Chains A and B, each alone.
Chain A
Amino acid sequence: LAKTTQPISMDSYEGQEVNITCSHNNIATNDYITWYQQFPSQGPRFIIQGYKTKVTNEVASLFIPADRKSSTLSLPRVSLSDTAVYYCLVGDNRWSGGYQKVTFGTGTKLQVIP
Chain B
Amino acid sequence: GAVVSQHPSWVICKSGTSVKIECRSLDFQATTMFWYRQFPKQSLMLMATSNEGSKATYEQGVEKDKFLINHASLTLSTLTVTSAHPEDSSFYICSAANREASVETQYFGPGTRLLVL
Contacts and interface: CB of A to CB of B under 8 A. Distances in A.
Interface in A72-95: 87, 93-95
B44 A99 contact: no
B77 interface: no
Q: Choose among A46, A93, A94, A99 the residue with the greatest number of B CB atoms under 10 Å from its CB.
A: A99
Interface footprint category on A = 20 to 34
A75 to B, nearest CB: 19
A101 B48 CA distance: 9
Interface of A: 32, 34, 36, 41-46, 49, 87, 93-95, 98-99, 101-107
A93 B104 contact: yes
A43 B103 contact: no
B107 to A, nearest CB: 6
Interface of B: 2, 4, 6, 31-32, 34, 36, 43-46, 49, 51, 91, 93-95, 97, 99, 102-111, 113
A103 B46 contact: yes
Contacts of B111: 41-43
Given A43-B6, A95-B104, 20 more contacts: A41-B111, A42-B111, A43-B4, A43-B94, A43-B95, A43-B108, A43-B110, A43-B111, A44-B44, A46-B106, A93-B103, A95-B99, A98-B31, A98-B32, A102-B106, A104-B43, A104-B44, A104-B45, A105-B43, A106-B43
